[in-house]
Amino acid sequence: MVMRKVGKYEVGRTIGEGTFAKVKFAQNTETGESVAVKVLDRQTVVKHKMVEQIKREISVMKLVRHPNVVCLHEVLASRYKIYIILEFVTGGELFDKIVHNGRLNENDSRKYFQQLMDGVNYCHSKGVSHRDLKPENLLLDSLGNLKISDFGLSALPQQVREDGLLHTTCGTPNYVAPEVLNDKGYDGAVADIWSCGVILFVLMAGFLPFDEVDLTTLYGKIREADFTCPPWFSSGAVSLISKILDPNPRTRIRMEGIRNDEWFKKNYVPVRMYDDEDINLDDVEAAFDDTKEQFVKEQKEVKDEGPSLMNAFELISLSQGLNLSALFDRRQDHVKRQTRFTSIRPAREIIMRMESTAKSMGFGVETRNYKMRLEAVGECRIAQHLAVAIEVFEVAPSLFMIEVRKAAGDTLEYHKFYKSFCAQLKDIIWKSAVDTSPVKPDQPSSPNAVNSK
- Please write the tens of the pLDDT for every residue from 278-291: 666 666 666 666 65
Higher pLDDT: 196 or 272? It is 196
3-class DSSP state for residue 420? helix
* Predicted local confidence at residue 441, as pLDDT: 39
Per the annotation, the verdict on 150 as an active-site residue is no
d(CA 156, CA 127): 6
Contact 4, 298 (CB under 8 A): yes
Percent of the chain with pLDDT over 70: 74
pLDDT at 436 over 50: no
Contact 153, 171 (CB under 8 A): yes
Higher pLDDT: 81 or 258? It is 258
Query: Which of 132, 141, 192, 211 is an active site residue?
Result: 132
* Reported confidence tier of residue 434, pLDDT bands at 50, 70, 90: very low
Range with the poorest average pLDDT among 186-195, 310-319, 421-430: 310-319
* Reported confidence tier of residue 333, pLDDT bands at 50, 70, 90: very low
38 is in an annotated binding site: no
Would you call 354 exposed, middle or buried from its count of C-beta atoms within 10 A (0-12, 13-18, 19+)?
Answer: buried
pLDDT at 329 over 60: no
Q: Cα separations (Å) of 334 from 94, 96, 399?
A: 12, 7, 22
**Phi first, then psi: what are they for 186, rounded to 5°?**
-155, 160
Give which of 355, 383, 367, 229 is closest to 307, Cα–Cα.
367
Higher pLDDT: 434 or 24? It is 24
* Predicted local confidence at residue 356, as pLDDT: 93
Q: What is the pLDDT of residues 205-255, one digit of tens each?
A: 998 999 887 888 999 999 999 999 999 999 999 999 999 999 999 999 999
Enumerate domains of the chain plus CATH numbers: 2-88+282-302 (3.30.200.20), 94-265 (1.10.510.10), 308-424 (3.30.310.80)
pTM flag (> 0.75)? no
